[in-house]
Chains A and B, each alone.
Chain A
Amino acid sequence: MLALKDVGKTYPNGVHALERFSAEISPGEIIAIIGGSGCGKSTLLRAIAGLDRASTGSVTLDNAVITSPHAKIGIIFQEPRLLPWLSVADNIGFGLADLAADARGERVASALARVGLTDKASAWPRELSGGQAQRVAIARALVPQPEVLLLDEPFSALDAFTRRDLQDHLLDLWADTRPTLILVTHDVDEAVVLADRVLVMRPRPGRLFEQITINLARPRDRKSELFDTFKRRVLTALDRSLDRSVRDATDKSSAGEAMWW
């Protein structure tokens, strides 16, 4: 159980990025955090990762208070952040330095096979496409078998087709060990495809605005009516979070708006 209690963050320059954010997230749950820019999404994610300390409140994972990066919490950033001097295989095995070489090799080989990059094992990161590099980053984060995996707009730099592929692929990988996933995104479509629960945030200062539970069976059909209904609900909540004029929830014209920022 990951518990966020009154998490707040004020940066040294006085920017009040996040205020009293509380949520309880069960093991294996998939959470999407969505909101306008400046709503503290990334701040929240970095606090959960232990990369930045919260100014107020606490993040606890199974009763352990998180103040620095934790072995059970992995993170995938917007950019792959592969180490350019390591081969693809060595990048994936980067977090397994404590393991004996043969055990590490086995884990890396199975992870490579799982993300479909076995033939790229000895390639350099610069030889990968954007989608392949992000797959390596996903494998690197999953190979130490984290209980919580944080994703900070992981697919936003990719083209629409690759993004869709990787969303499906991520769900597929998630099913292996079912870690908790917390995904920060700008993409309503992505939130509704992946998440059990969408947390809509409100900017200045960032705080939780609304929670929307997506009780759709997986795999989800992006073209179904029900899917559109959930998308509209998220879009409506987003509009309200920014005090925009509330659109009619049944208005078909907003349904095609896949990206939102």
Chain B
Amino acid sequence: MNEQFKRRIAAGALIVAFFVTWEALCILLGVSDLVLPRPSQVFTTLFTRINVLWPHIVQTLMTTMVGFACGVSVGVIIGSVIGVSRTAYDTAYPLLIGFSSIPKVAVVPIFVLWFGSGTVPAILTAIVICFFPIVVNIATGLATTEPEQEDTLKALGASKFDILWNVGLPRTMPFFFAALKVAITYAFVGTVLSETVASNRGIGNVMMSASSNFDVPLVFAGLFILAGMGVTLYAIFSAIEGRVIGWATRKNEIAT
């Protein structure tokens, strides 16, 4: 416990030190706030204009969560199918790789063309950008299940579904959570990307218009908000992860 407390103090101290150094360097070198605003300016902007920013925060958060939820669902389904069936894996993998190597910026204009600007292309971008790590991790987790664990159930006459439900999926949970933490940050990237290109709402849009007005502190305020939301969601999934798959991270605990 004491050890953990020390680690937290150290992590917190580093963050504070980062901002202090930034502030100090800006003052010492006389950096213009048009280039790089000081953290104190950014936080001031954040708090004084929170009323204006709030609807955009909600918009970005909701869009991201919807996209993330859909992306995870799609990812889990595709990942389960190609993880369980060797044939499906061999058939679908080349297409998936091809799909995932397309830079997602390139698909935003297509979504805008189809659905107009606004929320829908943002959700879709979040989906396409965040489902792939889920697919890969679920598929890997399922494909690397220990054959003996499966055999023990097979000898009992278990169906494929029994094995998937009782061995495959629980075993895949650590992989799944690792993927969730990557996917949630990706979903933010997707949403903000789309908002930047084609939307009149959301943090991405706020940053875009702020930068064309040379309102640099507001641009940075947008960045801070995104970082804050990303960290919060990451922490939430981390906490759930700790509860669900404690068995996989037991080395941090004291065996009784």
Partners in one complex: no
Interface positions of B (Cβ within 8 A of A): none
